[in-house]
Structure 1
Amino acid sequence: MISVFGSANMDLVAYVSEAPRRGETVTGREFRTVPGGKGANQAIAAARAGAQVAFLGAVGDDAFGAEIRDTLAAAGVDVKLLRQAPGMSGIAHIVVDDAGGNSIIVVPGANGTIGGPTGDERAVIAASQALLLQLELPMEAVIAAARAAREAAVPVILTPAPAQPLPGALLDAVTLLLPNEHEAAGITGAATPEAALDALLERVDEAVITLGSQGALYGSGSGERIRVPAVKVKAVDTTAAGDTFAGAFAVARAEGREAEDALRFASAAAALSVRCEGASTSMPTRAEIDASLS
């Protein structure tokens, strides 16, 4: 089982030819509401990639919260411990342009009410093969969840997004750090992904830097370095690519796959996700990932 302690949002997605500049108004061609949030996205990605998944987070007592809960459950994610907080669910305002790029504004809502994991949530984390974390919850809650996993000898995979300073108390409990190339550069100040990887490995045991169309780069403290190319596809919407990669990578590692095999599995999943619009709606099934690899 994989546990995900993270955010759940309703994505409010506007599709435009070109994203507006500051002070500019543009006409969109389509608008959708899609359940998302980095935590919920990673949970759905992992479930579709073949894992048993428990999601630990919070939604509001509004209509969006009910829809998010139903979407997670429909994807096969265990939501028995999903909290309900008074007020609004988390919201993400997303603009997607015709090149597949996006810009996002997140309003935390119920996500901001979460403290550390409860006793029941700690039991689920301790029974997991991996814990997936992101940074859309309060930092103290993320640190507490990471420590709970570390104490139970459960590997912790952290996606350090949205980008922000990473406290030593968090990094001390992280097994594998999974930033994209921009986040890695921001964390380390390094000019190249390779240099950023070396810097990250001074702080954690393993790291993967996703490089978009250039693939992904893996390293471990033992000196192992692996780079795999991206699967070439026409990108329609890259909103959930990173979360799909994280969920699929966690599944592959939980199944005992070596780093290179896990990277290829996750890269295939991420490539499949960018061919469709939306976040949780675009994530591939295990059968689709296996077919792509074969």
Structure 2
Amino acid sequence: MISVFGSANMDLVAYTPVVPKRGETVTGRAFAAVPGGKGANQAVAAARAGADVAFMGAVGDDAFGPVVRETLGSAGVDVSRLRVVPGSSGVAHIVVDDDGGNSIIVVPGANGAVTAPSAEDLAVIARSDALLLQLELPMEAVVSAARQARVPVVLTPAPARELPRELLDAVDLIVPNEHEAEALTGLADPREALEALLELVPEAVITLGAEGALYGSRAGGRLRVPAVPVRAVDTTAAGDTFVGALAVARAEGRPQEEALRFAAAAAALSVQREGASTSMPGRAEIDAALR
């Protein structure tokens, strides 16, 4: 089982030929409201990739909350630990251009009310093969979950920010994209950034978009896995799909390179579709893409 302690949002997505510059108005070609949030996305990705998944977080008592809950539940995610708090659910305003690139503004809403995991949450986490964390919840809550997990902790350091030592000491695997890796290390070269990250945590994967991913461990292993060449339509959930699928493959005991290729195939399938949770592939699709 995979546990996810993280954010749940409603994504308000505008599709447009180009992202507007400051002070500029452009005409979009489509709009969608799709449940997302990095935590919820990773939970859906892991469930569709074949794992039992438990999600811990919060939504508001607004109209978005039940939609987010239903989306997670319909994907097979256990939402019994998803709290409802007064006020707005988290919202992400996303603009996607015709090249599949995006810009995102996240308004935390209910995610900002999440505190340290409860005893019941920790009991669920303790039965898991891994705990997935991101940085869209208050840092104190993330640190508390990591330190009390007692299972392997996988951290997606997004949105990128300075990470406290007590969090890094509790992380087993960190998975930034190349921009987040540079923000964390000050190094633009992903290979150099990888080595710097391994000074902080035992294992690291840097995702490189169309260039694939780099993996390293303190035990000495280094791998570069190519991306599956596809035409990207929407890259919004690519990283979360990668992390969710990678967690599943590692929990199944797959060799590291095989696990990375499984995650890369899942991410490649996701970028060919619009939306976040709506774009994530099922296990049969991922297995077929690897044949």
Shared fold by TM > 0.5?
A: yes
The residue type equivalent to 2:190 in the other structure is P
Structure 1 counterpart of 2:138: 138
Q: Which 5+ residue runs of structure 1 have no aligned equivalent?
A: none
1:283 lines up with 2:284 in the alignment: no
Say whether the 8 Å CA contact 1:6–1:57 is kept in structure 2.
yes
> How many equivalent residue pairs?
291
How many Å separate the matches in 2 of 1:74 and 1:246?
20
Structure 2 counterpart of 1:48: 48
Structure 1 counterpart of 2:195: 198
How much does 1:34 deviate? Answer: 0.1
Q: Alignment partner for residue 224 of structure 2, among 203, 227, 245?
A: 227
How much does 1:190 deviate? Answer: 1.2
How many Å separate the matches in 1 of 2:19 and 2:93?
13
How many Å separate the matches in 2 of 1:203 and 1:16?
39
How many Å separate the matches in 2 of 1:227 and 1:259?
11
Q: Alignment partner for residue 252 of structure 1, among 249, 252, 263?
A: 249
How much does 1:223 deviate? Answer: 1.3
1:227-278: CA deviations, max 9, x gaps? 0100000000000000000000000000001110110000000000000000
The 3-state SS of whatever aligns with 1:34 is strand
How many Å separate the matches in 1 of 2:67 and 2:50?
23
Structure 2 counterpart of 1:17: 17
How many Å separate the matches in 2 of 1:196 and 1:259?
20
How many Å separate the matches in 2 of 1:118 and 1:125?
10
1:269 lines up with 2:266 in the alignment: yes
1:168 lines up with 2:165 in the alignment: yes
Structure 2 counterpart of 1:238: 235
How many Å separate the matches in 2 of 1:22 and 1:166?
30
Between the two proteins, what is the percent identity of the paired residues? 74
User: RMSD of the TM alignment (CA)?
Assistant: 0.5
1:40-189 to 2 correspondences below 5 Å: 40-149=40-149, 152=150, 154-189=151-186
Structure 2 counterpart of 1:30: 30
How many Å separate the matches in 2 of 1:180 and 1:81?
29
How much does 1:191 deviate? Answer: 2.7
How many Å separate the matches in 1 of 2:110 and 2:188?
37
Say whether the 8 Å CA contact 1:126–1:148 is kept in structure 2.
no
TM-score normalised to the size of structure 1? 0.98
Where does structure 1 differ by over 6 angstroms across 4 or more consecutive aligned residues? Answer: none
The 3-state SS of whatever aligns with 1:70 is helix
The 3-state SS of whatever aligns with 2:187 is coil
Say whether the 8 Å CA contact 1:274–1:282 is kept in structure 2.
yes
1:27-82: CA deviations, max 9, x gaps? 11111100000000000000000000000000001110000000000000000110
1:120-148: CA deviations, max 9, x gaps? 00101111100000000000000000011
The residue type equivalent to 2:130 in the other structure is A
How many Å separate the matches in 1 of 2:164 and 2:201?
12
